[in-house]
Amino acid sequence: MPKPSELLREMTRYLDYAEPVSGKTVFGATYRERKQLEPAFDVAPWCDMFIAQCSLAAGGADMLDVVGDFALTTSHAEWFREHDRWHAGTAGIRAGDIVFFDWSGGKKISAIDHVATVEKVISEHDIQTIDGNVGDTCKRRRRTSALVVGYGRPAYDGTPSSPDVSLISTLAELGHAPDFPGVVRPGQNGKNVRRVQEKLRRRQFGLGPSGVDGDFGPATKAAVVAFQESVGLEATGLVDEKTWEALWEAPIEG
């Protein structure tokens, strides 16, 4: 059985993911493809599909079995209730729990509007969550108990599980690249360097012993050059706009 830290780690990789103008999200499209549903799921509200797809990517079928595999928040909450893993309110809530909200402040499962995953508990009435589809993005949020209907506790047991590597690749690459932030180059550090490094790592280009550290050093430059060569771009070692887009959108071979 999986660990909550595995799920949360996967979710943090999508912080600042933004729904494209088309409305077709990574999470809706992969959920629809996996379950052979109608194309409308590509553009459906995706807060719960975000949880399902990250669960599968982080811990494979073991994780999905305990977290739940849903697009509809009310059905997800009912599933926890039917399995005796539903808790009203926030008493006893902890990291890794799946928390459900009613924006009108009601306490009925039938009125649930939104779902997120608890990342940190500040107090019984104050939690930090990772949310999909909040303002059409994936964000951390600070939440109070006032709008919480309740939470489901997945049956984690702390044993590492096996991620679904193929789905990780699909989630990493499907959809449009985020807005180009300007050329990312050697010597820089920070968020955009990390985003580049994460894409390179997921495409299996080596980053040296430092890994994803937010520092654009020689190993990252070598990985950028190797990636550019693999997709037919000029091998400059600079992440220009074409390279930025290709890191998200170029198909993965093999």
Q: Which CATH number characterizes residue 95's domain? A: 3.90.1720.10
Q: In this predicted structure, which of 115-119, 127-131, 145-149, 160-164 has the lowest mean pLDDT?
A: 160-164
Q: Report pLDDT for 122.
A: 96
Q: In this predicted structure, which of 9-13, 17-21, 37-41 has the lowest mean pLDDT?
A: 17-21
What mean pLDDT comes out for the span 101-119? Answer: 97
Q: Closest by alpha carbon to 115, among 52, 21, 36?
A: 52
User: Of the residues 87, 118, 152, which one is the last residue of a structural domain?
Assistant: 152
Q: Report pLDDT for 254.
A: 47
What mean pLDDT comes out for the span 143-161? Answer: 89
State whether 223 and 128 are in the same domain. no
Q: Cα-atom radius of gyration of the chain, to the nearest Å?
A: 19
Q: How confident is the model at residue 106 (pLDDT cuts 50, 70, 90)?
A: very high
Q: Is the pLDDT of residue 29 over 60?
A: yes
State whether 245 and 183 are in the same domain. yes
Residue 164 in domain: no
Q: How confident is the model at residue 206 (pLDDT cuts 50, 70, 90)?
A: confident
**Alpha carbon 181 to chain centroid distance?**
21
Q: Is the pLDDT of residue 223 over 80?
A: yes
| DSSP SS3 for 33 | helix
Residue 117 in domain: yes
Token pair for 214: 């937010």
What mean pLDDT comes out for the span 119-127? Answer: 95
Rounded to 10 degrees, the C-alpha dihedral 88/120/13/102 comes to 30
Q: In whole numbers, what is the pLDDT of the chain averaged over residues?
A: 89
Range of the domain at 58: 4-152
113 vs 10 pLDDT, higher one? 113
Q: Report pLDDT for 161.
A: 62
Burial 97-130 (b: 16+ CB within 10 A, else e): bbbbbbeeeeeebeebbbbbbbbebeeeeebebb
Residues listed for the chain: 254
Residue 79 in domain: yes
User: Percentage of the chain with pLDDT > 90?
Assistant: 63
Read off the CATH number of the domain in which 234 is found.
1.10.101.10
What mean pLDDT comes out for the span 155-171? Answer: 67
CA distance 34 to 50: 13
DSSP state, residue 250: S
Q: Is the pTM of this model over 0.75?
A: no
User: Percentage of the chain with pLDDT > 70?
Assistant: 91
- Angle at CA of residue 172, ends 171 and 176, nearest 5°: 95
State whether 138 and 205 are in the same domain. no
Chain segment 30-86, per-residue pLDDT in tens: 899 889 999 999 999 999 999 999 998 888 888 999 999 999 999 999 999 999 999
State whether 54 and 144 are in the same domain. yes
State whether 10 and 111 are in the same domain. yes
DSSP state, residue 142: E
State whether 120 and 208 are in the same domain. no
Chain segment 175-189, per-residue pLDDT in tens: 567 789 999 999 999
CA distance 173 to 193: 17
Residue 166 in domain: no
The total number of structural domains that make up the chain: 2
